[in-house]
Structure 1
Amino acid sequence: MIDFELVLPDGWVQIPTTPDTTTLRRRVVDNVIRHHLPDSLPRDKVGPWRRMLRKELTEATDEAARQGARSVLLPLQEFSGIRLPGSMLVTVLEGGDENEDPEQLLASILADAGTEGTYLEVGGAPAVRVASVVDSSRIRRKAPSRRVSYYVSNPDAPGVWGLLTFTVLTDGDVDAEPVQAVVLLFDMIVATLRWADRVDVPTEEEVLAQLAELAQVAEAAQESSTGSTADGADGSPGPLPADPLNRT
């Protein structure tokens, strides 16, 4: 089976969403929740957040599975104190018309995209990048999201395409500098794409190893922190972390 490889920054996890990974997805969701909302926090305060986070992560991974995506990429580690509000779906489309000229198909996509479409090369192959602003009501957010899709042809396998779609949540300003910074990071990840003759979806052991490493980093950071996460002088719990869902 044909697939492609991507180089991920530190602090990211790739969650498989193929049909045989339902149990693994649930385990990963459990680990992600413990990562953002550890058991050491007051249960009565973080309980509602845990339920919301579980619902959103489960819906995101299940929706990716329904769409035929092979995996979802999520940034879990905070950068400069902020959790990046986005995710990427990774899909390989096979069974297309081997006689169809990829340049013609890309030209059609580019024409439909108008000014939001860009022709470029990814992994040494022709590709098109399409940016758009999408409604977020499906995930119960009022603010719109910035979405970018890459359509990447496979130069050695006619009829095979890579589809990478990332969505960045916003507070309403889809052109804000932080949003553009997250989009740029996703663009940089896509730029590392290389086609391969093997499926590059991580195994259960690899995913759990990634999460264990992130947990160690988070634990070390928590131990060294003496700021807002520390208990108050009277022994009461310090303030809870920022909303892990980045809600507005």
Structure 2
Amino acid sequence: MLNEQTEPAVELGGIADATDPPVTGYRLLLPGEWAKVPLRHGTEDAVRQILDDAFARIPADAPTDRIGPYKRELERRFRASVAGAQQSEALDLYLPVKPMGDFNIGASILVTESLLPRPSGRSHGESEPTEVAVQLLSRDGVENADLSSGEIDGALAVRREHVGAAAPDKGAELASRRVEYMVSVPGDPDRWFVAAFSTVGGGDPRDELAEALVEWFDAVMANFRWSRG
């Protein structure tokens, strides 16, 4: 069953076209197994609710001497993920907190905001999508990425896909498949909404599970919609 994750105002809006209400946020349609952790307000309440729900699913006949260590390790890893997302000054983090079918999914969606000032002397709307993509995506040194551009809910969108190497020193024990969508905020071409999806698949970022999850995320973004005032 799908739940509509409707986000309230998240400071994404600018001066909208006179014919349209201003953008105040965004909407994602995600499975019920996924949960949202807001990273600017209400973070602790969301974290506590997710952990309580996870602890409640521990089998009643589980060995009592293992429950305590399991809870502590689960909470430590979960809070570390949230803290890492907060350090990137992101808006929201989405995680699959319940098994999907018979297995747990190693994946996440991180929502951030990026400001891209126009080059000197350049007016709104003059940049080509490929030029915008270069400016947005050349900052982090990623090579051999697949780039494409188009529109999502009437706004310019740029998609990048690549495989990120494992980085044990940063808590990434496995390589991951990454797909990022950057969508220009209507009414404010300098401001961009960014949704970054990451998955380790079944242990190989190019395996069948990773491929299926990338297709799923593409479908999620195809149904992305702005919230307007």
Give TM-score, length-normalised by structure 2: 0.72
* Residue ranges of structure 2 left out of the alignment (5+ in a row): 1-10, 14-24
Instruction: Deviation per CA, 1:66-116: give whole Å up to 9, x if none.
Output: 212221112233222112210101123358449454533125457876552
Residue number in structure 2 paired with 1:168: 199
Whole-angstrom CA distance in 2 between matches of 1:35 and 1:138:
32
Q: Structure 1 residues 68, 140: closer, same or farther in 2, change over 3 A?
A: closer
Q: Structure 1 residues 36, 189: closer, same or farther in 2, change over 3 A?
A: farther
Structure 1 residues 85-124: aligned runs within 5 Å: 85-93=106-114, 96-97=117-118, 99=123, 101=126, 103=129, 104-109=131-136, 114-124=144-154
Residue number in structure 1 paired with 2:31: 9
Whole-angstrom CA distance in 1 between matches of 2:123 and 2:45:
38
Structure 1 residues 2-41: aligned runs within 5 Å: 2=13, 3-18=25-40, 20-37=41-58, 41=62
Whole-angstrom CA distance in 1 between matches of 2:223 and 2:136:
22
* Residue ranges of structure 1 left out of the alignment (5+ in a row): 199-248
Q: Tell me the secondary structure at the aligned position of residue 105 of structure 1.
A: helix
Aligned match of 1:75 in 96, 105, 113?
A: 96
Which structure: greater helix fraction? 1
Which structure: greater strand fraction? 2
The one-letter code of the counterpart of 2:113 is V
Aligned match of 2:219 in 160, 171, 188?
A: 188
Instruction: Deviation per CA, 1:14-66: give whole Å up to 9, x if none.
Output: 11111x32431441342243155356532322333322221121111122222
Whole-angstrom CA distance in 2 between matches of 1:29 and 1:10:
13
Residue correspondences, number: 197
2:90 paired with 1:63: no
CA contact (8 A) 1:126 1:152 kept: yes
Whole-angstrom CA distance in 1 between matches of 2:85 and 2:205:
23
The one-letter code of the counterpart of 2:195 is L
Range moving further from structure 2, 24-33 or 50-59: 24-33
CA contact (8 A) 1:122 1:191 kept: yes
Q: Tell me the secondary structure at the aligned position of residue 84 of structure 1.
A: coil
Q: Tell me the secondary structure at the aligned position of residue 209 of structure 2.
A: helix
Whole-angstrom CA distance in 2 between matches of 1:122 and 1:191:
7
Structure 1 residues 46-57: aligned runs within 5 Å: 46-57=67-78
Give TM-score, length-normalised by structure 1: 0.68
Whole-angstrom CA distance in 2 between matches of 1:128 and 1:25:
30
Whole-angstrom CA distance in 1 between matches of 2:62 and 2:51:
16
Instruction: Deviation per CA, 1:144-201: give whole Å up to 9, x if none.
Output: 1112111111233221211111110245422100111122222211222112235xxx
CA contact (8 A) 1:136 1:143 kept: yes
CA contact (8 A) 1:37 1:50 kept: no
The one-letter code of the counterpart of 2:215 is L
Q: CA deviation at 1:136?
A: 4.0
Q: CA deviation at 1:117?
A: 1.5
The one-letter code of the counterpart of 2:35 is V
Q: Tell me the secondary structure at the aligned position of residue 7 of structure 1.
A: strand
